[in-house]
Amino acid sequence: MTRFAAPIAEQIWDMKYRLKDADGTPVDTDVEGTWRRIARALASVEADPAAWEPKFYAALEDFRFLPAGRITAGAGTDRSVTLFNCFVMGTVPDTMGGIFDMLKEAALTMQQGGGIGYDFSTIRPRGAPVAGVAADASGPLSFMDVWDAMCRTIMSAGSRRGAMMATMRCDHPDVEQFIEAKSDPARLRMFNMSVLVTDPFMEAVKADADWELTFGGEVFRTVRARELWDRIMRSTYDYAEPGVIFIDRINEMNNLAYCETIAATNPCGEQPLPPYGACLLGSINLARLVAEPFAEGASLDEAALDELVATAVRMMDNVVDASRFPLPQQAEEARNKRRIGLGVTGLADALLMVGQRYGSEEAAALTEAWMKRIARAAYLASADLAAEKGAFPLFQAEPYLASGTMAQMDDDVRAAIAEKGIRNALLTSVAPTGTISLYAGNVSSGIEPVFAFAYNRKVLQKDGSRTEEEVVDYAVQLWRETRGDAELPAHFVNAQTLAPMDHVRMQAAAQKWVDSSISKTINVPADIDFESFKDVYMEAYETGCKGCTTYRPNDVTGSVLSVSEEKKEAPAAPEVVSDENAGEVIYMTEPLDRPQTLDGQTYKLKWPGSEHAIYITLNDVIINGQRRPFEIFINSKNMEHFAWTVALTRMISAVFRRGGDVSFVVEELKAVFDPRGGAWMQGKYIPSILAAIGGVIEKHLVATGFLAGEGLGLKSDPQAEVVSLDTPRPRTAACSSCGSYDLRMVEGCMTCGNCGFSKCG
């Protein structure tokens, strides 16, 4: 017997969350061992750990409460990692020394596994004078390039690349360059980007008024607000970025408006945070709390929900004391305010189980009611914790209760806080839950609709045979188990059958009772016209959302689960169908066999100042008509180079022979900086010999057609692909973690549906 609802869930647990020794020997013998480890660690800060450990275990059991991945993987281990997911770094000073101090802090934070956010509005615009050096400023975009390069070199804890959010105010003089930065596919690849949109700007857009771009009290130039808004909209229409953050609404509704000002968010946008702000995340799995699913009287077990929320709040509050922090400023900020971000996952599945169509008025009303119940239970639990353990240090009853969020809270909750105080300044958030949702049995992610009812995943075995696994949405699987072959009801909808305004309606309904923000992607069809696209953002603003992120599949962003070429009406009762000729995911579990002979090319690399050249030979293999790298040999007469050239030869060849997307090898090598300095080669500065080797490999991969171009990703790769069983779609870029072609925009970040990998963590 196993607790896992699907093979992929167990694989995610084993790969991401199971504690293992350095040699790979499992410490967590089963998922119950993982739950015990977490429960024990979070109970250890209690006055009576023995009393709370079994209660914490019961909350975790059966995937009812899902702490975020950093807690699940790190709690109760001796790893030097933070259990916090989200950080916004300190305010970036407008000085060279201050800027690079901030860069160092970012590197230390990402090294421990934290995603970070920065507001770059504080850096003077390009061309502004720099006093004392007779020069003009290079502007915030140039320093963002430095951050981007640093992020590429940092492998966060758990072999996860760092993720970053960059924000810029809508009145900064360089905002137009910021808006269009992602039109260059090779630039700022490690950043998510959002414009901080103010209420006066939105009023100017609606009035078609002038808008001043200013810095330091000086007006640099004046533009038409509507034209600037259209530039934001056109960029996100074409490139899926930048996102939009309604920053005045965030500050107006903030419980802590009396002691902090927010100007940035974490990478996925659900946590607006002040300088050095930190927040940890966790989710209530609503799909596990529905009583009598699919029956006429199906409903959410509200008593069980209240109890689970109260326990989850206590567990998350304990994480504040149990966690390490990359920087002392982050530890102080977290302990002064004790922010937590309790959210939900499995919302869409829960709605399906109670007979509601995601996106309908009825589903939105039910979602609002559920989110209010969670907010009430969380605030009451935190007030009780304050009575027991003390309120957060910066609590002031009068301004706290006068804040925008608290003004709409029920009287009994306000009275409890007035009497007892409150332990946690903010309590609710809806975070990206892509990986933990897979781990919990492929429940729908966060408040997103079901993405795909099912898809087939084929695995290449060691003996060369292939096995096929079906990955099925949790609610669909439960329907099959209880209803057999009965046709899915008409209220079963997925992300591709929904109108964009249905997405907005659901986000707005949930936002009303979320004191932080929400990570959500509004999927729009490829053929949506520009004016209708803009209407989505205006509707998000008018209905109280704190931000808006859309995804429109196209030639630039990739066709992620795109609709068919011909316009088709959504079926009244969608079916899960099978297609033997559909694409497949192939895991390269064993290296490719080496043919007797291979075609290749040898390149001579002469590093300036070095007596001996380096010779790099790249051999290719042809699979299904596609040429791809198979092995590399790096040789030099310089014996000082012997050890590392042999190591590179072996390691890179091993990566090549595993198949999938190996373009990251180029990316990593080109990002290596030699502290002794690089060299100029053919008019271009190369930061190290290793970066030069990366450039040679890239040149070869472009020449053979494996890469689309310098600084770009895969041109094509026949080794892996996936096709949803709901609607046909062309292939997208490959996942850099598992090589599968199942990248999708989920909750504001590209996420692999196969292995759960996301640069946003």
* Burial 201-218, CB ≥16 within 10 A → b, else e: bbebbeeeeebebbbeee
Q: For the stretch 667-700, what's the b/e string if a residue is b when 16 or more beta carbons lie within 10 angstroms of its beta carbon?
A: bbbbbbeeeeebbeeeeeebbbbbbbbbbbbbbb
Stretch 289-300: mean pLDDT:
95
Contact assessment for residue 454 and residue 471, using Cβ atoms and an 8 Å cutoff: yes
pLDDT tens digits, one per residue of 74-115: 999 988 778 987 899 999 999 989 999 999 998 888 877 678
Q: Is residue 97 within 8 Å of 341, Cβ to Cβ?
A: no
Count of alpha carbons within 13 angstroms of residue 538, beta-carbon side: 14
Q: pLDDT higher for 242 or 730?
A: 242
Report whether 525 contacts 563 (CB < 8 A): yes
Average pLDDT of 631-650? 85
Catalytic residue, from 270, 631, 698, 747: name it.
270
Q: What's the confidence (pLDDT) of residue 582?
A: 31
Tokens of 121: 């509005």
> Nearest CA to 619 among 597, 638, 639, 640?
597
Residue-wise pLDDT tens digits, 301-332: 999 999 999 999 999 999 999 998 989 999 99
Give residue 556's identity as a one-letter amino acid code. Answer: V
End-to-end CA gap in the chain: 30
Q: What letter represents residue 183's amino acid?
A: S
| pLDDT for 464 | 56
C-alpha 490 chain-centroid distance? 31
> What is the reported pLDDT for 454?
87
Band (561; pLDDT cuts 50, 70, 90):
very low
pLDDT range class, residue 252, cuts 50, 70, 90: very high
SS3 670: helix
pLDDT of residue 568: 35
Regarding pTM above 0.75, the answer is yes
Helix (H) or strand (E) segment spanning residue 200: helix 199-207
For residue range 406-450, list pLDDT tens digits in order. 999 999 999 999 999 999 999 999 998 888 998 999 999 999 999
Q: What is the mean pLDDT of the chain?
A: 85
What is the reported pLDDT for 742? 62
**Stretch 630-637: mean pLDDT, rounded?**
89
The predicted structure's pLDDT at residue 163: 80
| 163 Cα distance to chain centroid | 8
For residue 458, what are its two tokens? 């084929």
Rounded CA gap, 511 and 660, in Å?
39
Higher pLDDT, 639 or 489: 489
Partners of 651 in the β-ladder: none
SS3 621: strand
CA angle 508, 453, 505 (to 5 degrees): 10
More confident residue, 148 or 166: 166
Decide if 584 is catalytic: no
22, exposed or middle or buried, with CB in 10 Å at 0-12, 13-18, 19+?
A: exposed
Question: What would the pLDDT profile of 358-398 be if each residue is shown by its tens digit?
Answer: 999 999 999 999 999 999 999 999 999 999 999 999 999 99
Flag the least confident range among 231-235, 444-448, 748-752. Answer: 748-752
Residue 302, helix vs strand vs coil? helix
Question: How confident is the model at residue 754, as a pLDDT?
Answer: 60
Question: How far apart are the C-alpha atoms of 88 and 202, rounded to whole Å?
Answer: 25
Please name which of 710, 718, 692, 713 lies closest in space to residue 628, comparing C-alpha atoms: 718
Closest C-alpha to 317, from 260, 382, 245: 382
What confidence tier does 465 reach under pLDDT thresholds 50, 70, 90? low
Write down the pLDDT at residue 1: 56
* Residue 461, pLDDT score: 52
Tell me the CA distances in angstroms from 679 to 131, 620, 666, 760, one per residue in order: 31, 29, 18, 33
Q: What is the pLDDT of residue 675?
A: 66
3-state secondary structure 164-182: EEEEEECCCCCHHHHHHHH
Q: What angle do CA 560, 344, 36 make, to 5 degrees?
A: 110
What pLDDT, on the 0 to 100 scale, is given for residue 156? 36
Most confidently predicted of 38-42, 479-483, 716-720, 748-752: 38-42
268 is catalytic: yes
Which residues lie below 8 Å from residue 4, measured CB to CB, with a gap of 6+? 10, 13, 31, 441
Whether the link from the prior residue into 629 is cis, omega within 30° of 0, is no
Token pair in block for residue 465: 């045979």
Banded model confidence at residue 457, pLDDT cuts 50, 70, 90: low
Amino acid 715: pLDDT: 53
pLDDT cut 90: percent of the chain above it: 58
Considering only residues 6 and 587, tell me which one the structure prediction assigns the higher pLDDT: 6
Which pLDDT value is given to residue 158? 38
Q: Is the pLDDT of residue 557 over 70?
A: no
Class of residue 743 by CB neighbours under 10 A (exposed 0-12, middle 13-18, buried 19+): buried
Alpha-carbon 52 to chain mean position: 32
Beta-bridge mates of residue 299? 291
Residue 12 has pLDDT above 80, yes or no: yes
Please, are residues 752 and 585 in contact by the beta-carbon 8 Å criterion?
Answer: no
Give the pLDDT of residue 745.
Answer: 64
Report the range of poorest mean pLDDT among 191-195, 387-391, 402-406, 466-470: 466-470
Q: What does the pLDDT read at residue 157?
A: 35
Please count the other Cβ atoms lying within 10 Å of the Cβ belonging to residue 361.
11
Q: How confident is the model at residue 56 (pLDDT cuts 50, 70, 90)?
A: very high
163 contacts 193 by C-beta, under 8 angstroms: no
- Assess whether 270 carries a catalytic annotation: yes
Does position 145 have pLDDT exceeding 50, yes or no? yes
How far are the Cα atoms of 315, 597, 626 from residue 622, in angstroms, in the given order?
53, 11, 5
d(CA 491, CA 353): 10
Pairing, β 454-460 against β 547-548: unpaired
Catalytic option among 251, 266, 456, 619: 266
What pLDDT is attached to residue 587?
37
DSSP secondary structure letters along 438-486: HHTTSPPPTTPPPS-SEEEEEEE-TTS-EEEEEEE-HHHHHHHHHHTTP
Q: What does 675-723 look like in DSSP terms, one character per residue?
A: TT--EEETTEEE--HHHHHHHHHHHHHHHTTSBSSTT--BS--TT----
Name the pairing type of β-strands 210-215 and 264-265: unpaired
Structure-model confidence comparison of residues 557 and 699, the more confident one:
699
Which candidate in 86, 268, 545, 735 is catalytic?
A: 268
Assign 720 a pLDDT band (cuts: 50, 70, 90): very low
pLDDT at 29 over 50: yes
List Cβ neighbours of 428 (8 Å cut-off, separation of 6 or more): 341, 342, 343, 371, 374, 375, 378, 513, 514, 515, 516
Per-position DSSP letters for 97-108, written without gaps between them? HHHHHHHHHHHH
Domain assignments of the chain as residue spans, ordered by start: 86-253, 599-703
Lowest-pLDDT choice from 390-399, 592-601, 698-707, 740-749 = 740-749
What pLDDT sits at residue 380?
A: 98
Position 748 scores a pLDDT of 58
**Which whole number is the average pLDDT over 702-724?**
60
Task: Report residue 423 CA to chain centroid gap.
Answer: 28
Three-state secondary-structure class, residue 570 = coil
**Is the CB of residue 176 less than 8 Å from the CB of residue 228?**
yes
Mean pLDDT of the 341-357 span:
97
The CA-based angle 439-68-508, given to 5 degrees, is 100
245: DSSP letter = E
Task: Report which of 315, 287, 335 is spatially closest to residue 382, judged by C-alpha positions.
Answer: 315
